[in-house]
Amino acid sequence: MNWPLFSVIYSIAATVTIGIFMIGALVTGFNQIPHIQMAVAAGFLVSIPAALIFTKKVGSITGKEDGYQA
């Protein structure tokens, strides 16, 4: 696992997913603080498998699946 690549992809995926979930919660009328916190928590959890999949795909394209090698 390429951990530096995973951390970059996870930070991007988490930001996008949390934004989508928060906008969805606000548009549907769930504008209370507990609902927004649940949307943030769900965004963090959904981002993990997405980041894993994209890290493996990018690692297989570049040929550096084993991790960071300077």
User: How confident is the model over 11-49, as pLDDT tens digits?
Assistant: 999 999 999 999 999 999 999 999 999 999 999 999 999
Q: Is the pTM of this model over 0.75?
A: yes
Tokens 């894993």 — which residue?
52
- Which positions ≥6 away from 59 have C-beta within 8 Å? 2, 5, 65
Q: Which domain covers residue 37, as residue numbers?
A: 3-60
**What pLDDT does residue 1 have?**
79
Q: Is residue 51 part of a domain?
A: yes
In a domain, 68, yes or no: no
Is 44 a domain residue?
Answer: yes
Residue 18 lies in a domain: yes
Q: pLDDT (tens digit, 9 = 90+) per residue, 39-62?
A: 999 999 999 999 999 998 888 887
What's the chain's length in residues? 70
Residue 7 lies in a domain: yes
Instruction: Classify residue 66: in a domain, yes or no.
Output: no
- Letter string b/e over residues 9-45, b meaning 16 or more CB atoms within 10 A of that residue's CB: bbeebbeebbeebbeebeeeeeeeeeebeebbeebee
Count the domains in the chain: 1
